[in-house]
Chains A and B, each alone.
Chain A
Amino acid sequence: AQSVTQLDSHVSVSEGTPVLLRCNYSSSYSPSLFWYVQHPNKGLQLLLKYTSAATLVKGINGFEAEFKKSETSFHLTKPSAHMSDAAEYFCVVTPPGSQGNLIFGKGTKLSVKP
């Protein structure tokens, strides 16, 4: 069965410092992996996705994630945090060939201090 584990429920960084949000997945097959962001009172927005092409995936707003099969990880990073990055981030997996059922991690709340 597929699952994702977000290792940190809350991450706090200072503006201008790097961001690292950790995600490990469990999958019997090569999964599709996504990162979504949810700002308060707004819908989920797709940041980036991995679908077995390049292992380093670049997304919107300067975020990127690297798929590491040996570590079963898909950590999200950004070199320099901005105040507007404060939000809830979800790591998501979907089994290949499915109808698109998304399996969400529990989420990581990112706080950015001035």
Chain B
Amino acid sequence: GAVVSQHPSRVICKSGTSVKIECRSLDFQATTMFWYRQFPKQSLMLMATSNEGSKATYEQGVEKDKFLINHASLTLSTLTVTSAHPEDSSFYICSARLAGAPGETQYFGPGTRLLVL
């Protein structure tokens, strides 16, 4: 149980275009989902926290107008990278917290590798 999927797993796009990444909790309801960014050989950095039905909370330094997050249901959150540029190329990982689970356990998706040309 507690499986999180991401789609697509890999995407290549041209500079200036927008890319949408989906994060789904397949077998549980997630009131809170998180979006992380991981640069090569570096750790994960939290970008934003997404609560179902409300606006996302962004970490300092993350542009909310560039990284649009929507958490429309208890099983789906989307991250849209708007007007992508080469410096947005990275590995984006989502996680979902099991509603009501103790110990703040988060379950992670497999990640989406974005390459902006």
Task: Report A's interface with B, CB cutoff 8 A.
Answer: 32, 36, 41-46, 49, 51, 90, 94, 98-107
Contact = CB atoms under 8 A, between A and B. Distances in A.
B109 A43 contact: yes
Given A102-B46, A106-B42, A107-B43, A44 B103 contact: no
A46 B102 contact: no
Q: Give the one of B6, B97, B103, B111 with max A CB within 10 A.
A: B103
Contacts of A105: 43
Interface in B66-89: none
Interface of B: 4, 6, 32, 34, 42-46, 49, 51, 57, 93, 95, 97, 102-111
Contact of A32 (B4, B34, B104): B104
A94 B103 CA distance: 9
A90 B105 CA distance: 15
B23 to A, nearest CB: 11
A88 to B, nearest CB: 9
B44 A104 contact: yes
Decide if the interface of chain A is mainly helix, strand, loop or mixed. Answer: loop
Nearest to B113: A41
Give 7 closest A-B pairs by Cβ, nearest first.
A44-B108, A43-B110, A100-B104, A51-B103, A104-B43, A43-B108, A106-B43
Main SS class of interface, B: strand
A42 B109 CA distance: 8
B34 A100 contact: yes
Contacts of B103: 32, 49, 51
Residue from A43, A46, A103 whose CB has the most chain B CB atoms within 10 Å = A43
Contacts of B6: 43
A42 B2 CA distance: 15
Given A43-B110, A46-B105, A49-B105, A102 B34 contact: yes
10 contacts: A44-B93, A45-B108, A100-B32, A100-B49, A100-B104, A101-B34, A103-B46, A104-B45, A107-B42, A107-B43
